[in-house]
Chain A
Amino acid sequence: DAGVIQSPRHEVTEMGQEVTLRCKPISGHNSLFWYRQTMMRGLELLIYFNNNVPIDDSGMPEDRFSAKMPNASFSTLKIQPSEPRDSAVYFCASSLRTGGSYNEQFFGPGTRLTVL
């Protein structure tokens, strides 16, 4: 298996531009998570989906952020308009949810976003 795939790996954009980050989870996994990592705030959960349905978006910083999962093999995280404080590494992770048990979350390689 190729693991969780994210694109692009690096993105440099100017303030005010729209940014779209993409994620392909591991085939067969039914839970998908978007995280943001910064030195100041560490690793924060932004939103997660179960069976393509958003379950908890309480970590989404503001209305400029939105996430979708149109099918089991694809998700996007969009920032519009982007601001310099959005600069961070964004990770996507997936897991296989089985009943009420907890299972390992597999992280993708991340997208390093720089907003100038």
Chain B
Amino acid sequence: GENVEQHPSTLSVQEGDSAVIKCTYSDSASNYFPWYKQELGKRPQLIIDIRSNVGEKKDQRIAVTLNKTAKHFSLHITETQPEDSAVYFCAASPGAQKLVFGQGTRLTINP
């Protein structure tokens, strides 16, 4: 079955700097890759997603890139702000709406 690896597990950056989180997946049939943000004690919420027919997608300060050949995708957050502090999860869908999540990255923005 699908396996998603996410790195790093923790990331600390200075406010205003950029943050990058990387994920790899194993199933070449996967064609949908969402990213969720989970604040402490809260539910996961979708922040951006990308489908396999697109190599890059951007929404204001966040962007996602996808390399299907290498089976990896990344989340980029620019001009980080304190409210970006949270746990971020990548996921891959091998089909039929099923999502397999990475282990998560705890992002801390230092003022």
B96 contacts A55, CB within 8 Å? yes
Q: A25: CB under 8 A from chain B? A: no
The count of chain A contact residues (Cβ–Cβ below 8 Å) is 20
CB-contact partner of A42 in B42, B43, B101, under 8 A: B101
A91 to B34, CA, bound (A): 17
Tell me which of B16-24, B45-53, B57-65, B73-81 binds A.
B45-53
- A96 smallest CB distance to B (angstroms): 10
**Interface of chain B: mostly helix, strand, loop or mixed:** strand
Q: A15: CB under 8 A from chain B? A: no
Q: A52: CB under 8 A from chain B? A: no
Tell me which of A65-73, A77-85, A102-110 binds B.
A102-110
B43 contacts A108, CB within 8 Å? yes
**A-side contacts of B34, CB under 8 Å:** 102, 104-105
B44 contacts A102, CB within 8 Å? no
B43 contacts A102, CB within 8 Å? no
**B-side contacts of A42, CB under 8 Å:** 89, 101-104
CB-contact partner of A110 in B43, B98, B101, under 8 A: B43
Contact with A along B66-107 (1 / 0, CB 8 A): 000000000000000000000001000100111111111000
- A63 smallest CB distance to B (angstroms): 21
A104 contacts B98, CB within 8 Å? no
Q: A45: CB under 8 A from chain B? A: yes
Contact with B along A78-116 (1 / 0, CB 8 A): 000000000000010001010000101101111000000
CB-contact partner of B97 in A97, A107, A108, A109, under 8 A: A97
CB-defined A-B contacts under 8 Å, sample of 5 = A42-B102, A56-B98, A102-B49, A105-B46, A108-B43
Please give the residue numbers on chain A whose beta carbons come within 8 Å of chain B beta carbons, in ascending order. 31, 33, 42-45, 48, 50, 55-56, 91, 95, 97, 102, 104-105, 107-110
11 A-B pairs besides A43-B44, A55-B97 with CB distance below 8 A are: A42-B89, A42-B101, A42-B104, A43-B104, A44-B101, A48-B97, A56-B96, A95-B97, A97-B97, A102-B97, A110-B43
